[in-house]
Amino acid sequence: MLIVPNEGLKRMLERGLRGFLGGVHDLAIRLYKNDYIPTSTSVLSNFVESTFQGYYRQWGDSSQWLPATMSGGRATSTYGSVPLTWTCTGGDEKIFGYYVEESETATVLWCERLSVPRTLVPGTVIDLTLTLMGQSAL
């Protein structure tokens, strides 16, 4: 039976996020506006990217992932020290979630639907903190 000790799990998460994913501008962080529930078979064409005034794709730099921490057998890493932020400057739109695309391959690396869709109107700010967790289970 394969056992991954906590320190190994923590290091594997860090290597995956900071090493495997590459360098600057390799990850496109995008909001989506269609009422879609992501699944394990989701692909880029399932998502309709947001278009509200003030929206832009944010580009991720793998070096911005913070060192992983361990708690209760879980390794957790967060992107950057402050949330990613968008401000609606015009129009209105409903946001259902976000997805992270590896720009080189147009592959959805991960996606998440918001627990409650956000309706944006001018002046609305949406903050997003990317956090990934790895867990060892027996």
Q: DSSP for 44-72?
A: GGG--B---BT---EEEEGGGBPPPEEET
CA 92 to chain centre: 23
User: What is the reported pLDDT for 136?
Assistant: 67
Over residues 55-67, the pLDDT tens digits come to 999 988 777 888 8
Question: Band of the pLDDT at 54, cuts 50, 70, 90?
Answer: very high
